[in-house]
Structure 1
């Protein structure tokens, strides 16, 4: 292959790659079809919001501080079941004594 032939093939590959990238971005529902305006800031702010909600959950669940999110969600589910059980017991006692 000559140098000019390899140069042209590289240019065509770049053009194809750029065209494909524009098609992907356009299909993602952006306003102008070329640039994702604000995507990074939205993803950063959504990650920040998730971290904040995880911290709140860690404060609510007994022993939740310091737990990784996957373990925290399991503990949260167990805690909810425990609270439901307590409510059922208290309702039963209340019905027994007609309080």
Structure 2
């Protein structure tokens, strides 16, 4: 790709969405996130986002452990 690829990438025009999410849409997305995150039901958004970040880190750690184990146990 080289430097030419970087120049092409920098020329890409990013479009912003004209319509922003309304309050009802944000609340609906928070409720969906509460259902996805273990222990997320009933948490206020601030605590929910912290719990979500912790959960993502936990999942990444699990993936790393499983990848390491699969390398050890190859036939």
TM-score normalised by structure 1 residue count: 0.54
Alpha-carbon RMSD:
1.7
How far apart are the structure 1 equivalents of 2:66 and 2:27? 35
TM-score normalised by structure 2 residue count: 0.70
Give the drift of 1:61.
Answer: 0.4
Please tell me whether residue 90 in structure 1 is matched to residue 66 in structure 2.
yes
Q: Which protein has greater RCO, CA pairs closer than 8 Å, 6+ apart? A: 2
Task: Name the structure where helix makes up a greater proportion of residues.
Answer: 1
- The alignment covers a number of residue pairs equal to 57
Larger Rg: 1
Structure 1 runs not aligned, ≥5 long: 1-41
Structure 2 runs not aligned, ≥5 long: 1-18
